[in-house]
Amino acid sequence: MKPFEIAEGIYSVGVEDWNIRDFHGYSTPCGTSYNSFLIVDDKIVLIDTVKKEFADQLLANISQIVDPKKIDYIVSNHTEMDHSGGLPRVMHRVGEDKPLYCSKMGFKNLSLHFGQKWNYRPVENSEELNIGKRTLTFLETRMIHWPDSMFTYIKEDKILFSSDGFGQHYAGPEKFDDQIGEAVMGHAKKYFANILMLYVDRIKQLLNSIGELGLEFNIICPDHGIIWRKNPGKIVEAYARWCDLKPKRKAVVIYETMWDSTKAMAEKIAEGIAEEGVDVRPMHLRAWHRSDIITEVMDARAVIIGSPTLNNTLFPTIMDFLTYMKGLKTKNKIGAAFGSYGWSGESVKLINKELEEMNIEIIDPGLKIKYVPNQEGMDACFDLGKRIGKAILD
């Protein structure tokens, strides 16, 4: 990715990772970008670096604008390795005595990652740094989504460098929201569902604080994906809406199958739900990635889980998904379980236990069918679907 100017004297110098397809359990079919930003003022500032493997590319991009040795300050908004992995290479080139601004928790994290050899400058929340015509304000955003996270704001230009907030895992020819259009919102929703959903209370507090401080944004520059310049308010409004976790009249039927019996049950349950006029999506766990399923779950009212019984327990992919969903702390859900079995049939009981631990209201004891469902069994699946559909509409 060639560097490009965002505003006068402010450049995007980051890199694109075209080939990554799994970002610690999150599917990235469009790759991702590691965005880094260079501000050329009386003092020259670099905001965030990139993944270790791309550090030389970052330095080459910076070199097209200034000699990296002329950088005066480095800001680390977030210490996760996709943003800090390139720091050792950058600091070596820039000069290890140059001030490195970070949150107090960022100082602890970076010290554990790389040692205490650098000139760390831990900042207070709302602390300011004048760099000439511009002033940087550091805003603590703890647990959005790591304890060290912070934003950096240029009040003169009303530009927000938002770290992992407002981002998307996307690499493409488009660099700005007005270039990609509405398609960006699907990427942003998936990012929110899989990275930030469990921090909605923190995000609400942040959005309230932004309102109280009267901060305005002309441009929002996240560390992944496109930059919001035409309508940055759109993604802020979307975050406010997504934080409510208000479900739609929608159900997701998530299932695994061995010999298609549970599949047949899933599709019949979905048919029954649809009969009530409810939007429903049956999703086979080996056909859909768990991160795409969670994106659908985020705004669904009902989550229906189906698994065959394997070795007296759940199918492994079902257990994997339930663990993943539990960690993201979904809210405002109703649920039910179903599955086929040959001998003992524990799957429904085990799914219900997991749903209860997630505070999902179980609206039906569940349905299990031995071996291949006959017509009576399929009718029972359809009826279960109708009951679920009615419960969603209540």
Catalytic one among 101, 170, 191, 199? 191
What pLDDT score was predicted for residue 213?
84
What CATH number is given to the structural domain containing 25?
3.60.15.10
Distance (Å, whole) CA 132 – CA 42: 5
Task: Give the residues of the chain that fall short of pLDDT 50.
Answer: none
Count of residues in the chain: 394
Per the annotation, the verdict on 289 as an active-site residue is no
Taking residue 384's Cβ as centre, other Cβ atoms within 10 Å add up to 22
C-alpha triplet 314, 296, 207: angle, nearest 5°: 120
Structural domain total, the chain: 2
Catalytic one among 16, 48, 80, 276? 80
What pLDDT score was predicted for residue 212?
87
Do residue 239 and residue 302 come from a single domain? no
Q: Considering 225, 243, 261, which residue would you say is the last residue of a domain? A: 243
Q: Considering 201, 223, 243, which residue would you say is the last residue of a domain? A: 243
Segments forming the whole domain that contains residue 127: 4-243
Which residues are CB-neighbours of 271 under 8 A, at least 6 positions away?
A: 382, 385
What pLDDT score was predicted for residue 161?
98
Catalytic one among 224, 276, 346, 354? 224
Per the annotation, the verdict on 80 as an active-site residue is yes
Distance (Å, whole) CA 22 – CA 85: 18
Catalytic one among 83, 145, 169, 284? 145
Per the annotation, the verdict on 113 as an active-site residue is no
Do residue 197 and residue 323 come from a single domain? no
Do residue 233 and residue 269 come from a single domain? no
Q: Considering 186, 217, 243, which residue would you say is the last residue of a domain? A: 243
Distance (Å, whole) CA 348 – CA 356: 12
Do residue 176 and residue 30 come from a single domain? yes
Catalytic one among 41, 48, 157, 164? 164
What pLDDT score was predicted for residue 211?
86
Catalytic one among 41, 48, 82, 140? 82
Instruction: Give CA torsion, residues 265, 266, 268, 274, to 10 deg.
Output: 160
What pLDDT score was predicted for residue 116?
84
Do residue 387 and residue 302 come from a single domain? yes
What pLDDT score was predicted for residue 162?
97
What CATH number is given to the structural domain containing 378?
3.40.50.360
Using alpha carbons, select from 299, 293, 388, 291 the residue that is nearest to residue 335: 388
DSSP 277: T
What pLDDT score was predicted for residue 86?
97
pTM, 2 dp: 0.95
What pLDDT score was predicted for residue 226?
98
Tell me the three state secondary structure of residue 110.
helix
Do residue 171 and residue 293 come from a single domain? no
What pLDDT score was predicted for residue 18?
97
Distance (Å, whole) CA 83 – CA 76: 8
Per the annotation, the verdict on 82 as an active-site residue is yes
Do residue 68 and residue 206 come from a single domain? yes
Do residue 285 and residue 316 come from a single domain? yes
Do residue 267 and residue 129 come from a single domain? no
Do residue 217 and residue 274 come from a single domain? no
Rounded to 5 degrees, φ, ψ at 388 are -65, -45
- Give the pLDDT confidence of 102-118 residue by residue, as tens digits: 999 999 999 999 988 89
Do residue 316 and residue 353 come from a single domain? yes
Per the annotation, the verdict on 83 as an active-site residue is no
Q: Strand pairing partners for 150?
A: 140
Do residue 197 and residue 50 come from a single domain? yes
